[in-house]
Structure 1
Amino acid sequence: MRAPTALRRQQHQTTTQQFEFAIETTRQISNMSVTLHTNLGDLKIEVFCESVPKTAENFLALCASHYYDASPFHRLIPKFMAQTGGPAHPSPPDNPKGGRSIWGGVFEDEIRPALKHGARGVVSMANKGPGTNGSQFFVLFDKAPHLDGLNTVFGRIIGDDSTVTLGKIEAVEVDRKNRPKEPVVIERVTVHANPLAG
């Protein structure tokens, strides 16, 4: 049954306000953070708003609008990375590799020489080539210098709890196509204005 028109209008207004809050806050603060609450624990990400403003705006607005709620980690490659960020209910449903930006399509890279894929816990945009960023991103299990200049680094994992959670995710058994044999899911996301916030 469809929600009453007034309720749908209120829900749309709330989502719009969340988008606007995330975008405006991104423009005012050098760095922000979010916590991805996964079924294996929390991953807290410091977002480099000043260095990659458009990528940060997209990521934070998607977080604030609950776009990532129930999004699966559909690709896990031990000693390399964990990929997520597709919609929870993709179309077609057997394709978790979809996704979109807040502008409806793809957007350009923000490659910064100072931001490298140089350590475990680096967070970067997944893409299909130059200028094809949408909603998907990945977290490194190890340094991956071959991605420098190809993918936009926009954050890093921070905090001991996040380190433990990343280890749990990497330990999940995968099949021959690097798909996890047990679900690993972003249940919800908390957006923090301060990267040191609890």
Structure 2
Amino acid sequence: MSKTKALFDTSMGSFEVELFEDKTPKTVENFTGLAKKGYYDGVIFHRVIADFMIQGGDPTGTGRGGESIWGPKFNDEIVKELRHTGPGILSMANAGPNTNGSQFFITLVPTPWLDGKHTVFGKVTSGMEVVEAIGATETLKPFDRPVVDVVINTIKVIE
């Protein structure tokens, strides 16, 4: 069982995520490395789709930015038993195979069509009501950006 957790403090409340460093060590190292240096502080959830997911981690707020701790991109860590089985799954956003940077998403529902395409590296363990509230915020088309910014104040890594 994983011991590393991430405590998200957002403009809409806090939630905690258990990180799967035993199964996805490189992805967790990237995420925690970025969090520890304050990379995510002040970054918004730039894409919110009700009944699907909330996405953040891009310092440009456009959905096109962000880098890993090693540079622009790093490879997927697809683990067969880690799947998008329900709400609260933390997974890497990408633009195709092996294009992970800093962006991540948290599911609001089961999303099995994402299995094998995105690295699952954590699960919400408390505060899911905050994630659901973020998922219910009003957004603008065509980019699904919240009308009122939902800000990640900080992500604290607990080891």
Q: Same fold (TM over 0.5)?
A: yes
Number of equivalenced pairs? 158
Confirm or deny that 1:124 pairs with 2:91.
yes
Confirm or deny that 1:35 pairs with 2:7.
yes
Moved over 4 A (4+): none
Structure 1: runs of 5 or more not aligned: 1-28, 194-198
**1:196 matched residue in structure 2:** none
- 5 Å matches for 1:4-153? 30-87=2-59, 90=60, 95-153=62-120
Q: Which has the higher contact order (CA 8 A, sep 6+)?
A: 2
Amino acid aligned to 1:172: T
Instruction: Point out the structure with max Rg over C-alpha.
Output: 1
| Structure 1 residue 167 displacement after superposition | 1.9
Amino acid aligned to 1:39: S
| Structure 1 residue 67 displacement after superposition | 0.2
Change in Cα spacing, 1:30 to 1:138, as seen in structure 2 (3 Å) is same
Greater strand fraction, Structure 1 or Structure 2:
2
Amino acid aligned to 2:42: A
d(CA) in 2 for partners of 1:97 and 1:34?
24
TM-score norm. by structure 1 comes to 0.77
Q: Which secondary structure state, in structure 2, belongs to the residue aligned with residue 168 of structure 1?
A: helix
Structure 2: runs of 5 or more not aligned: none
d(CA) in 1 for partners of 2:136 and 2:51?
10
Match of 1:175 among 133, 140, 143: 140
TM-score norm. by structure 2 comes to 0.95
Q: Which secondary structure state, in structure 2, belongs to the residue aligned with residue 116 of structure 1?
A: coil
Q: Give the percent of matched residue pairs that are identical in Structure 1 and Structure 2.
A: 42
Contact 2:139 2:147 in 1 (8 A): yes
RMSD: 1.3
Contact 1:82 1:140 in 2 (8 A): yes
| Structure 1 residue 190 displacement after superposition | 1.2
| Structure 1 residue 96 displacement after superposition | 4.5
**2:151 matched residue in structure 1:** 185
Greater helix fraction, Structure 1 or Structure 2:
1
d(CA) in 2 for partners of 1:95 and 1:191?
25
d(CA) in 2 for partners of 1:122 and 1:129?
19
Task: Give a deviation string over 1:15-51, Cα, whole Å, max 9, x none.
Answer: xxxxxxxxxxxxxx94300111000001211100010
